[in-house]
Amino acid sequence: GAVVSQHPSRVICKSGTSVKIECRSLDFQATTMFWYRQFPKQSLMLMATSNEGSKATYEQGVEKDKFLINHASLTLSTLTVTSAHPEDSSFYICSAPVTAGLGTEAFFGQGTRLTVV
């Protein structure tokens, strides 16, 4: 199956600093990628859709100036958490859709555990 690689897997940062998370499609091209957030013991919530060569689209309630998304190539999307605060501590997961055979399926990265201290 398709492979989506996310980096780093864990990051600890100080409050007020920015953190960049990378999501790469290793063996396919992804014009679209999705970013989800998962708070402890909760479900995944879609934050935004990353579009190659154009602006990301954000779900309601997600601050676009705080969560900067860049999708500069067909294999890489980045999520930058700017001026991070402890309430931004969460598990961030990216996914990329792959169309083959019976239809389209999402493949997920390994996730990034962000802890803001």
Partner 1 sequence: ELKVEQNPLFLSMQEGKNYTIYCNYSTTSDRLYWYRQDPGKSLESLFVLLSNGAVKQEGRLMASLDTKARLSTLHITAAVHDLSATYFCAVDPRGAQKLVFGQGTRLTINP
Taking CB under 8 A as the rule, does residue 111 contact partner 1?
yes
| Residue with smaller CB distance to partner 1, 34 or 67 | 34
Taking CB under 8 A as the rule, does residue 54 contact partner 1?
no
Of 2, 40, 21, the closest CA to residue 81 belongs to 21
Given 11, 13, 28, 44, the residue binding partner 1 (CB under 8 A): 44
**Residue 5 amino acid letter:** S
Q: Distance between CA atoms of 26 and 1, rounded to whole angstroms?
A: 11
Taking CB under 8 A as the rule, does residue 113 contact partner 1?
yes
Taking CB under 8 A as the rule, does residue 62 contact partner 1?
no
Question: Looking at 21-29, 66-74, 75-83, 99-107, which segment touches partner 1 (CB under 8 A)?
Answer: 99-107
Please state, as a whole number, how many other Cβ atoms lie within 10 Å of the Cβ of residue 45.
13
| Residue with smaller CB distance to partner 1, 20 or 105 | 105
Taking CB under 8 A as the rule, does residue 28 contact partner 1?
no
**Is the peptide bond between 97 and the residue preceding it cis, with omega within 30 degrees of 0?**
no
Q: Which residues contact 40 (CB under 8 A, 6 or more apart)?
A: 90, 91
| Residue with smaller CB distance to partner 1, 80 or 111 | 111
**C-beta of residue 13 within 8 angstroms of C-beta of residue 84:** yes
| Residue with smaller CB distance to partner 1, 86 or 101 | 101
